Amino acid sequence: MYRIVKRLIDIIISAGALLILLPLFIPIIILLRFSGEGEIFYFQKRVGYKNKFFDIWKFATMLKNSPNMGTGSLTLRNDPRVTRVGRILRMTKLNELPQIMNVLIGNMSIVGPRPQMKVDFDVYSDYVREHIYDVPPGITGIGSVIFRDEEKLLSESTIPPREYYSKVIAPYKGELELWYQRNFSLITDIKIIFLTAWVIISPESDLAYKIFKDLPVRKF
């Protein structure tokens, strides 16, 4: 039943947010058009609901060929592929706002597991790959809250970023997203939305573990 209610809430929130945020989108679009490579939106194939691919919307923050440069799908702190305007957008998470269109279209939700590129999706265990997208992916989710500053973790790791992601981040992120499905409810979604705003202000906060006391044991 909540799945139907959740879809209605997604439509109402995303439509309202699009209208409210339009005045903010206009200056961002102008800045992007006349900076970097002049790209405004970035569309990328992601794995979504029931493991079907879709195009995710984002504001362009990196060089167009960035997936084939440096660390590929992984972004590090002070990554040279990120444009100057893009750095600000990524730091404030404003680059994620165009995903409101994905929510309106119906291939994403406000809250859910983050949709991954195939190269990162393939790192998950067989069980996680089979079940992680039994619910639609989200703009935010418990994995996004816990890994608010994934770039910092990758940059400070003593092992190569790709290896650290595969051995440390991906396994724990998979556990978190499966936890979300076991606790799928309106109350859980409201708490995650609150935590999303909170960790932007206080990225080092462990408040999520205090609000959700049964989260999988932290492994990093």
pLDDT tens, 77-122? 778 888 888 888 888 888 989 999 999 999 999 999 999 999 999 9
Tens of pLDDT, residue by residue over 29-45, are 999 998 877 889 989 99
Q: Are 180 and 171 in contact (CB under 8 A)?
A: no
Indicate whether 194 belongs to any domain: yes
Q: Which residue range forms the structural domain that includes residue 172?
A: 2-211
Report yes or no on 216 lying in a domain. Answer: no
Establish if 147 belongs to a structural domain. yes
- Does residue 178 fall inside a structural domain? yes
In a domain, 218, yes or no: no
- d(CA 209, CA 220) in angstroms, rounded, equals 14
Residue 217 forms part of a structural domain: no
Does residue 132 lie in a domain region?
Answer: yes
In total, how many domains does the chain have? 1
pTM to 2 decimals?
0.86
Burial of 182 (0-12, 13-18, 19+ CB in 10 A): exposed
